[in-house]
C-alpha cells in the first residue's frame, strides 16, 4: 500500500498552526515560541515528515515572503488581484506583503527598493513605463520578478496579462446585433499596454465585423475621464458605450445617472471588470470580465516557479469573457428615426 | 533674518527623489545607486542640511517602514483606510507595507510575526478578539502598536475608532421625522467592538427619541447576512432600514433590487460607510460616514508619536456623520393605512 507522503501542510494542520508558522518553527525561527516550535517538530516526527533536503537547503535562505506592488488599493480590480495572489501564496506557505504605488513610476521604484531591502523571495508588480530599468536590474540581481496586468515593452520579464481581443469582439458583435450602433469606446491612456492593446482590439473588432469607424474618446484611467467621455459620446449620438477600464466604467455610470439617461433603455452600457458597483445596480451592467482571480493565481504560480529555479514562458495571456446583463441586453428602438 | 531650517523633504525635492530615497541615500544604503547617493549628498551640502544628531542616531536603527494589518483588501473601507495611512506615512518619509488578515485571528498573529521579522518601525492593526496577547507582547517587546477601527477590551493599547453615537441618533431621528417607522437595524456581530457599540448606540438612540422597541436583525459583517436580514425586516413590515456596516449595506441593496423594492419610495435605506456602490445608484443611498481618511490619518499620527517616543492618549474617537441622500429623504406615504 502507498500512503500519501506527508506535506508541510499536514504538519501544520496536525499542530494547529498556519503553514508559514510551521515552516518557521521547523527552521528554528526564534519569532515562534519555543512551545510552538516543540509542538510542530513533534508533529513532524509523528507524521514522518521528511522535507526534501535540497528544497530545505534552498528554503533556509528564504524569507517565505513575496512582495506585491499594485497601483492602487482603492481600485477593486487591483485589490481583488492582490487578494487572489495572497490566497494562493498562503496555500503554498508564503506570506504576502503589499505595496501601493499610486500609478507613479517613482513610487514603484521606491516600493521595489523597500521590498528588496526586506529580502522578499520574489516580487509581483504591475509596472509602468519608466520602470523598465529598475525592474530588469532587480531580476538581474537574482530576485525573481513577474509582471502582472500590464506588459512592459523593452524588457524580457515574465508577464501575465489578460487578452482583450475575443471579449471586446464579442461585446461589439452583441451591441451591433441588438441595434445599439453607433458604439462609443472610452479608451484608456496610450502609455499603458492595456490602454493601447484594448483600443487596438476594439478597432480590430469593428473592422472584422464590417462596421464603419466608430467614435472613440481617448481618456485616462479615472472616473472624471469616464464621466467626461460619456457626456461627449452621448452628445455625439451613440446608442451604446463600452468603457475601457473599471474607473472609466464607474464614471460612465455616474454620467448616466446625472443626466437621467436610463441605462438598459436609452443607452446600452458595457463596463470593464466585474466591479460590484456595476453588478449591483437596479439595472445590472454587462461587463468584460478579466477574471482577476485567475490572473492573480497564474501570476503567483509563475513567480513560484521562478523562485524554485524553473524557467516559465515569457508571457502568458489569460482569457477574459463577456458577461451580458440587462444594461445591454435589449433591442434599440426606433432605428427608423435615424436618417 | 531667519531662514527656514532645511528639512529632509527639501533635500529630496532638490535632488528630485522621494523622501525615503533621500533618507536611504544619506544613510549610505547600497540599494540606492552611487550616482543618486552622490547627488543627494551634494544637495544636502548645498542646502546646509543638518539632521539633528540625536534624531539621526535614532533613525539609523530604523527601517522607516510601517506595517499595516487590515482584515480585507476587497472591503473598500479598509482599502481606503490603508490608502489614507500610506498617504500620510509617505509625507513623513515612511514606506508602508500592507498585510491582509482575512478576518482571522490566526492570520493576524502570523502577519504580526512577519512584520516584526521585517523590523518595521511600528504597526497599525485592525484587531480581533483572541489577538490580545500577541499584540500586547509586541508592544512590550518595544515595537509601537496602534489599533484602528476596533477596540480590544483587556488591553491598554492605543486605539483609534469612530464614535457611532451621534450619527446613529441623527439617522434614527431623520427616519422618524419623515414617518419611516418602524426602522429595522441590521446589526453586526457581537464579538467585534464595532458590532456591539453600534447596536448599543442604535438602542440608545431609539430610547432617547422616545421610540418603542424597533426590530433588530443580529447578523455578521457580510453581504449574505445583509441580504437575509433585509428580507426578514421587510417581511416584518419595516419602512426603513439602517445597515450596521459596509458589507451588510451592500447586501441590503441587493435584496431590494432582487425583490423589486424601490429604495427611496417603498423603503428608506441608510447604509454604513460611504461606499461607491451606495453613492452610485440611480437613487443614491444615505450613509453614516466614518470619514475613514481622518481615521487613517489620526492612526498614523498616533503611531508616529509612539515611534518618536511620546505617550499619546490611550484612546481617540473620531467623528462620524450622517450624509442624507434620496434613499431616505422622502416622506413615507399612507401613514393612515397602518392601524
Count of alpha carbons within 13 angstroms of residue B120, beta-carbon side: 29
Chain B residues with CB under 8 Å of A117 CB are 29, 31, 63
Q: What is the rounded end-to-end Cα distance, in angstroms, of chain A?
A: 79
Number of domains in chain B: 3
Would you call the peptide bond into A182 cis, given omega within 30 degrees of 0 as the criterion? Answer: yes
Q: With an 8 Å Cβ cutoff, are A257 and B31 in contact?
A: no
Interface test with B, best of A79, A105, A274 (most B CBs within 10 A): A79
Q: How far apart are CA B305 and CA B321, in angstroms?
A: 27
Give the per-residue pLDDT at B34: 82
How far is it, in rounded angstroms, from Cα A107 to Cα A235? 38
Residue A212, in any domain of the structure: yes
Query: How far B111 CA sits from the closest chain A CA (Å)?
Result: 8
Q: What is the pLDDT of residue A159?
A: 95
Q: Minimal Cα distance from A20: which residue of B?
A: B110
pLDDT at B5: 55
Q: With CB atoms and an 8 Å threshold, state whether B113 touches A32.
A: yes
pLDDT in tens, B153-165: 889 999 999 999 9
Provide the 8-state DSSP code for B266. Answer: T
| Residue keyed to cell 426606433 | A334
Asked if residue A50 lies in contact with residue A7, where contact means CB atoms within 8 angstroms, the answer is no
DSSP-based three-state secondary structure for A131: coil
Instruction: Compute the nearest-CA separation of A30 from chain B (Å).
Output: 10
Please tell me if residue A1 touches chain B, with a CB cutoff of 8 Å. no
For B163-181, give the secondary structure using H, E and C. CCHHHHHHHHHHHHHCCCC
Inter-axis angle of helices B34-46 and B8-15, to 10 degrees? 120
Q: Are residues B145 and B261 in the same domain?
A: no
Residue A98 contacts B where some CB pair is shorter than 8 Å: yes
Q: Do A114 and B95 touch (CB under 8 A)?
A: yes
Rounding to the nearest 10 degrees, give the CA dihedral for residues B72, B76, B80, B82: 10
End-of-domain residue from the set A45, A60, A75 = A60
What are the cell numbers at B250?
Answer: 451592500
Asked whether residue B98 is assigned to any structural domain, the reply reads yes
Nearest residue to B71 via CA among B96, B105, B121, B97:
B105
Q: What are phi and psi of B243, to 5 degrees?
A: -95, 145
Establish if A73 belongs to a structural domain: yes
pLDDT class of B55 with cuts at 50, 70, 90 = very low
The average confidence (pLDDT) of chain B is 89
**In a shared domain, residues B225 and B77:** no
The residue of A223, A271, A276, A284 whose CB has the most chain B CBs within 10 angstroms, and thus the best one to mutate to test that interface, is A276
pLDDT value at position A50? 60
Provide the residue range defining the domain that includes A15: 8-60
Tell the residue number behind the cell numbers 503553514, with chain if given: A19
List chain B residues with CB under 8 Å of A118: 65, 97, 118
A186 lies in the same domain as A282: yes
Q: Is residue B221 one of the residues assigned to a domain?
A: yes
For residue B7, the 8-state DSSP code is -
Say if CB A25 and CB A17 are below 8 A apart: yes
Same structural domain, B272 and B296: no
C-beta atoms of A282 and B281 within 8 A: yes
pLDDT at B200 (0 to 100): 97
Residue B100: its chain A contacts at CB < 8 A? 82-83, 86, 96, 98
Q: Nearest CA to CA, how far is A324 from chain B (Å)?
A: 17
A24 and A112 assigned to the same domain: no
Residue A330 counted as domain residue: yes
Inform me whether the C-beta atom of residue B211 falls under 8 Å from chain A C-beta atoms: no
| For range A70-94, the mean pLDDT | 93
Yes or no, beta carbons of A111 and B117 under 8 Å apart: no
Q: For strands A321-323 and A286-289, give the pairing.
A: antiparallel
Q: Please check whether residue B235 lies inside any domain of the structure.
A: yes
- What does the alpha-carbon distance between residue B334 and residue A212 come to, in Å, rounded to a whole number? 55
**Residues within 8 A of A (CB atoms), B 236-255 only:** 250, 253-254
Classify residue A1: in a domain, yes or no.
no
Rg (CA), chain B: 24
Structural contact between residues A23 and A59, judged by C-beta atoms closer than 8 angstroms:
yes
Asked whether residue B76 falls in the same domain as residue B46, the answer is: no
Cα–Cα distance for residue pair A1/B308, rounded to 1 Å: 63
Query: What pLDDT, in 10s, does the model give residues B13-29?
Result: 888 888 778 877 877 66
> Angle CA(A308)–CA(A158)–CA(A7) in degrees, nearest 5?
25
Q: Can you give the CATH number for the domain in which B56 is found?
A: 1.10.260.40
A280 touches chain B (CB under 8 A): yes
Split at pLDDT 50, 70, 90, the class of A59 is very low
Regarding whether A239 and A329 lie in a shared domain, the answer is: yes
CA distance A41 to A26: 6
- C-alpha to C-alpha distance for B123 and B142, rounded to whole angstroms: 11
Chain A neighbors of B117, CB-CB under 8 A: 29, 31, 63
CATH number at residue B141: 3.40.50.2300
Q: What is the pLDDT of residues B82-99, one digit of tens each?
A: 999 999 999 999 999 999
Q: CB contact, 8 Å: B328 with chain A?
A: no
Placement of cell 441588438 in the chain: A178
Residues in chain B: 339
Q: Do B98 and A100 touch (CB under 8 A)?
A: yes
Give the separation between CA B182 and CA B166, rounded to whole angstroms.
20
B230 vs A: CB within 8 A? no
Among B18, B43, B60, the domain boundary falls at: B60
| Separation CA A308–CA A310 (nearest Å) | 6
Q: B293 in contact with A at a CB cutoff of 8 Å?
A: no
Residue of A nearest to B114 (CA): A95
Query: Which of residues 46 through 65 in chain B touch A, CB cutoff 8 A?
Result: 63, 65
Q: Is residue A54 predicted with pLDDT exceeding 50?
A: no
pLDDT surpasses 50 at B336 = no
Task: Kindly state the DSSP code that residue A336 receives in the 8-state scheme.
Answer: G
| Strand pairing report for B321-323 and B286-289 | antiparallel
Same domain membership, residue B257 and residue B227? yes
Per residue in B263-293, pLDDT (tens digit) is 999 999 999 999 989 999 989 999 999 999 9
How much is the pLDDT for B6? 65
Taking the Cβ of residue A258 and every Cβ of chain B, the question of whether any pair is shorter than 8 Å is answered with no
**Quick check: B79 and A82 CB within 8 A?**
no
A63 CB burial (10 A radius; 0-12, 13-18, 19+): middle
- Given CB atoms, is A293 within the 8 Å cutoff of chain B? no
pLDDT tens profile B168-194? 999 999 999 999 999 999 999 988 889
Q: Alpha-carbon distance A42 to B236, whole Å?
A: 56
Alpha carbons within 13 angstroms on the beta-carbon side of residue A323 total 17
Distance CA(A193)–CA(B14), nearest Å, equals 32
d(CA A81, CA A68): 10
C-alpha cell at B339: 392601524
B270: which 3 cell numbers? 441608510
Taking Cα atoms as reference points, which of A249, A106, A83, A101 lies closest to residue B83? A101
Shared domain for B51 and B76, answered yes or no, is no
| Assigned C-alpha cell, B228 | 437575509
Radius of gyration of chain A (CA): 24
In contact, A271 and A171? CB cutoff 8 Å: no
Alpha-carbon span A188 to A150, nearest angstrom: 13
Cβ atoms within 10 Å of B232's Cβ, excluding its own: 15
Residue-by-residue DSSP string for A249-268: HHHHHHHHHHHT--BTTTBE
Phi and psi angles of residue A50, each rounded to the nearest 5 degrees, phi first: -125, 95
The predicted-structure confidence for B208-264, as pLDDT tens digits, reads as follows 999 999 999 999 888 999 999 999 999 999 999 999 999 999 999 999 999 999 999
Question: Count of A–B CB contacts within 8 Å?
Answer: 128
A49 plus A119 within the same structural domain: no
- All three cell numbers of B75, joined, read 472591503
Nearest to B278 by CA among B331, B328, B318, B320: B328
Q: Could you tell me if A210 and A302 lie in one domain?
A: no
CB atoms < 10 A from the CB of B291, how many? 18
* Residue A237 and residue A252 in one domain: yes
Contact A98 B73 (CB under 8 A): yes
Q: Chain A contacts of B20, Cβ < 8 Å?
A: 110, 114
- List chain A residues with CB under 8 Å of B114: 20, 65, 95, 97
Query: How much of chain A exceeds pLDDT 90, in percent?
Result: 69
- Say whether residue A282 is in contact with chain B using an 8 A CB cutoff: yes
Which SS3 state, helix, strand or coil, does residue A164 take?
Answer: coil
Q: How confident is the model at residue A34 (pLDDT cuts 50, 70, 90)?
A: confident
In this prediction, residue A55 carries a pLDDT of 43
Let me know if residue B3 belongs to a domain.
Answer: no
User: Residue B288: beta bridge partners?
Assistant: B272, B322
Amino acid at each position: 500500500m502507498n500512503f500519501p507522503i506527508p506535506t508541510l501542510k499536514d504538519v501544520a494542520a496536525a499542530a494547529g498552526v498556519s503553514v508559514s508558522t510551521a515552516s518557521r518553527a521547523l527552521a528554528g525561527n526564534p519569532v515562534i515560541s519555543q512551545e510552538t516550535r516543540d509542538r510542530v517538530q513533534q508533529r513532524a516526527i509523528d507524521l514522518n515528515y521528511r522535507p526534501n533536503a535540497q528544497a530545505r537547503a534552498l528554503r533556509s535562505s528564504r524569507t517565505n515572503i513575496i512582495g506585491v506592488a499594485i497601483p492602487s488599493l482603492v481600485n477593486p480590480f487591483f485589490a481583488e488581484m492582490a487578494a487572489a495572489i495572497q490566497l494562493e501564496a498562503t496555500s503554498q506557505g508564503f506570506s504576502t506583503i503589499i505595496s501601493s504605488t499610486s500609478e507613479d513610476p517613482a513610487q514603484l521604484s521606491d516600493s521595489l527598493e523597500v521590498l528588496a531591502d526586506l529580502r522578499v523571495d520574489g516580487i509581483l508588480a504591475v509596472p509602468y513605463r519608466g520602470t523598465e530599468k529598475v525592474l530588469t536590474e532587480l531580476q538581474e540581481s537574482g530576485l525573481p520578478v513577474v509582471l502582472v496586468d500590464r506588459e512592459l515593452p523593452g524588457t524580457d520579464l515574465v508577464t501575465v496579462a489578460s487578452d482583450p481581443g475575443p471579449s471586446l469582439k464579442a461585446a461589439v458583435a452583441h451591441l451591433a446585433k441588438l441595434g445599439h450602433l453607433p458604439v462609443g469606446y472610452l479608451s484608456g491612456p496610450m502609455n499603458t499596454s492595456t490602454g493601447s492593446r484594448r483600443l487596438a482590439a476594439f478597432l480590430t473588432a469593428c473592422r472584422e465585423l464590417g462596421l464603419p469607424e466608430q467614435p472613440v474618446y481617448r481618456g485616462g484611467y479615472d472616473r472624471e475621464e469616464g464621466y467626461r467621455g460619456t457626456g461627449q459620446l452621448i452628445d455625439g449620438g451613440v446608442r451604446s458605450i463600452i468603457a475601457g477600464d473599471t474607473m472609466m466604467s464607474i464614471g460612465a455610470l455616474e454620467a448616466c445617472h446625472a443626466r437621467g439617461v436610463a441605462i438598459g433603455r436609452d443607452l446600452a452600457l458595457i463596463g470593464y471588470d466585474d466591479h460590484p458597483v456595476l453588478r449591483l445596480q437596479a439595472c445590472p451592467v454587462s461587463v468584460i470580465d478579466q477574471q482577476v482571480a485567475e490572473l492573480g493565481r497564474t501570476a503567483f504560480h509563475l513567480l513560484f516557479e521562478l523562485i524554485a529555479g524553473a524557467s516559465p514562458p515569457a508571457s502568458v495571456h489569460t482569457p477574459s469573457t463577456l458577461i451580458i446583463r440587462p444594461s445591454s441586453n435589449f433591442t434599440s428602438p426606433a432605428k427608423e428615426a435615424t436618417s
